[in-house]
Amino acid sequence: MSFTVTVCAAIFGGAAAAFVPRLAHRLAVPRGSRPRSTCADCTADLPTWVRAGASCDCARAPVWTLTTGALVGGVLGATIGPAPLLVVLLPAALLGILLALIDLRCLRLPDPLVGLLAVGTVLPLSAVALVTGEPADLMRSTLGAVLSGSVYLIIALLPGGGLGLGDVKLATVLGFTLGFVGWPAVVVGLVAPHLINGPVAVVLLLTRRAGRRTALPLGPALLTGALLGCLIT
């Protein structure tokens, strides 16, 4: 473990996460709606997309978002170290935090953001595999994407599966990255989301905060499972 890399990755994660709240607030809208131009709480104008800190002057400081960004960045830095994979995963992790916040707020994973995550991971990881002369990594990544996408597509098509196509697309993109890490990472990425969401669903049912037909966001669990998979390198 490189202490310097860990600290730098944590600083990057925390600093970059400061810009997530404004983006999440503007993009967390129902499907087919335009991004917000005013605050959902105080109706104040949100004239810009880029703002560090709270999404609006009326909002609390995003302590949890910044902490999550710093923690994820630091853990990735400590686990992966100074490697090309870290350069790819750090920005992807921040985009993952944005996707998770949006999914938690409006049960939606916007296609443009999932597409951006795909471009930011598939292209550079493919280039790394080809430049380093490891085409097996690229093949494994492709198979990981196909496997993850197929499994979640089957679940989404089952009656009462409770998954949307956004979850399927995200799982496919994450499967590619996990395939680059290795097959154990793919397995963790497939299993962990259900181990995470299952207890959450049980607690919500027992506390009557959700019913049997209540839709729950899977995006945060998918992204957490992918992070856990990357940590087994």
Phi, psi at 203, each rounded to 5°: -60, -45
> What is the rounded distance in angstroms from the CA atom of residue 176 to the CA atom of residue 139?
10
pLDDT of residue 133: 77
In a domain, 125, yes or no: yes
pLDDT of residue 10: 97
pLDDT of residue 69: 97
In a domain, 214, yes or no: yes
- Let me know if 89 is exposed, middle or buried by CB neighbors in 10 A (0-12, 13-18, 19+): buried
Task: Give residue-wise pLDDT tens across range 42-99.
Answer: 999 998 999 999 999 999 999 999 999 999 999 999 999 999 899 999 999 999 999 9
In a domain, 74, yes or no: no
In a domain, 57, yes or no: no
Q: What's the total number of domains in the chain?
A: 1
Which residue has better confidence, 207 or 27? 27
pLDDT of residue 161: 65
**Residue 75 exposure: Cα atoms within 13 Å on the Cβ side:** 15
- Let me know if 143 is exposed, middle or buried by CB neighbors in 10 A (0-12, 13-18, 19+): middle
Query: In the predicted model, is pLDDT for residue 202 greater than 80?
Result: no
Mean pLDDT value across the chain: 91
**Domain region containing 197:** 110-233
pLDDT of residue 233: 63
Token match 């395939």: residue? Answer: 179
DSSP per residue, 4-35: HHHHHHHHHHHHHHTTHHHHHHHH---TTPPP
**Residue 71: C-alpha distances to residues 7, 66, 77, 143 (Å):** 10, 8, 10, 30
In a domain, 28, yes or no: no
Query: In the predicted model, is pLDDT for residue 223 greater than 90?
Result: yes
In a domain, 70, yes or no: no
For 219, other C-beta atoms within 10 Å of its C-beta total 24
pLDDT of residue 65: 96
In a domain, 220, yes or no: yes
Task: Give residue-wise pLDDT tens across range 90-117.
Answer: 999 999 999 999 999 999 999 999 999 9
In a domain, 43, yes or no: no
**Residue 175: C-alpha distances to residues 4, 9, 77, 178, 217 (Å):** 29, 23, 21, 5, 18
Task: Give residue-wise pLDDT tens across range 129-163.
Answer: 888 878 889 999 999 999 999 999 998 888 776 78
Query: In angstroms, how far is CA 48 from the centroid of its own chain?
Result: 24
DSSP per residue, 90-129: HHHHHHHHHHHHHHHHHS---HHHHHHHHHHHHHHHHHHH
**Residue 178: C-alpha distances to residues 44, 222, 225 (Å):** 41, 12, 10
Query: In the predicted model, is pLDDT for residue 213 greater than 70?
Result: no
Report whether 86 contacts 5 (CB < 8 A).
yes
